Amino acid sequence: MRRGAGVQPVFPPIVVTHLVKRACELPDSAERSLSFWTCSELARALIRDEVVDSISPQSVQRILRSYKLKPWRVHHWLSAKVPRDAAFKATTQGIMELYTRALAANERVLCVDEKTSLQPRPRTEKTLPAQLGNVPVRIEHKYTRAGATNLLAAFDTRSGEVIGICRLRKRQIEFIELLEKIDKSTPISINRIHIVCDNVRMHHGKLIHQWLAQHPRFVLHFTPVHCSWMNQIEQWFSILQRKRLAAPNFANLNMLEERIDAFIREWNETAHPFRCKEASFKKILAKCDGAVAQAA
């Protein structure tokens, strides 16, 4: 390589090729116990492999930037092999219509799911509020275990109202408790209650089928596998997590459940629905059309 005053080092093509190749492999393949490559680790790898005598992390970053390559970035994905077939399209189309079409006066649409393993995590010292002089809220790092609870909740897609219960377990029995609470809160004039939920066993077991047979105004709609983004309660759960559960510090389970109930009451005072656009669904539906055409 050549160096000059104020001039970036220029590396032979073989060095660049080796760097790019290494960056496009997981560290384990290079017998390095790392989750992901960083510029510093790649520089060490090139020197260890005797590809180059010396190279700085900054030079590695400059080379990778020219290839638009960032091996330290992560994008989580799941089940790329889930078929985008006609059945998937029909299910997605049905949920899109539930969210976007004008409802009849006798209809209600709610999204249901569970937020599990919520822990009180009482701190060993009191949490201190913010103070003048740029002093932040101070939270003790140490905490103790005090059990866990589960929140079963429903989000009304048109009003934004949330209905929820906290229970130590999440089974068909607890799911039926939530359905019964929805039933009691829904006027008799509404004879069609659409429930959007995922396809886990507790949502369609034997007890659930028996209960639904006795409550014909309830209709369950199941989202496709690994498509939690279609369930609007997940969006509300993220709000709950950010505003109430980001730094758990509750004396016990009773206090945790009482504070969750209070958050739901306060939310319902100014409840609002989420904007749901057909465009998000149509992108998925377009992929379905392509997959079906390719299969044909």
Beta strands in 126-265 (DSSP E): 149-156, 162-167, 192-197, 218-222
Q: How far apart are CA 6 and CA 104, in angstroms?
A: 71
Q: How far apart are CA 35 and CA 48, in angstroms?
A: 19
**Token output for 85:** 């077939």
87 vs 25, which has greater pLDDT?
A: 25
pLDDT at 81: 65
Taking the alpha carbons at both ends of the chain, their separation in whole angstroms is: 55
Residues in the chain: 296
Q: What is the pLDDT of residues 180-202, one digit of tens each?
A: 999 999 999 999 999 999 989 89
Of 92-96, 209-213, 264-268, the one with minimum mean pLDDT is: 92-96
Q: How far apart are CA 79 and CA 225, in angstroms?
A: 9
Q: How many CB atoms lie within 10 A of CB 265?
A: 10
Determine the 3-state secondary structure of 275 from DSSP: coil
- Residue whose structure tokens are 């306060």: 266
**Token output for 229:** 């983004």
- At residue 250's C-alpha, the angle toward residues 248 and 253, to 5°, is 110
pLDDT band at 78 (very low <50, low <70, confident <90, very high): low
Of 27-36, 94-103, 125-134, 282-291, the one with minimum mean pLDDT is: 282-291
- Burial environment of residue 79 by CB neighbours within 10 A (0 to 12, 13 to 18, 19 or more): exposed
pLDDT over 90 for what percent of the chain?
Answer: 75
Q: How far apart are CA 98 and CA 84, in angstroms?
A: 20
Q: How many CB atoms lie within 10 A of CB 2?
A: 8
- Burial environment of residue 53 by CB neighbours within 10 A (0 to 12, 13 to 18, 19 or more): exposed
pLDDT band at 279 (very low <50, low <70, confident <90, very high): confident
pLDDT band at 295 (very low <50, low <70, confident <90, very high): low
Beta pairing class for 7-10 and 2-4: antiparallel
**Token output for 215:** 């409550």
Closest CA to 284 of 92, 150, 25, 49: 92
Residue 66's Cα: distance from chain center in Å? 32
Q: How many CB atoms lie within 10 A of CB 78?
A: 9
Residue 8: strand pairing partners: none
Q: How far apart are CA 267 and CA 274, in angstroms?
A: 13
pLDDT band at 7 (very low <50, low <70, confident <90, very high): low
In whole numbers, what is the pLDDT of the chain averaged over residues?
Answer: 90
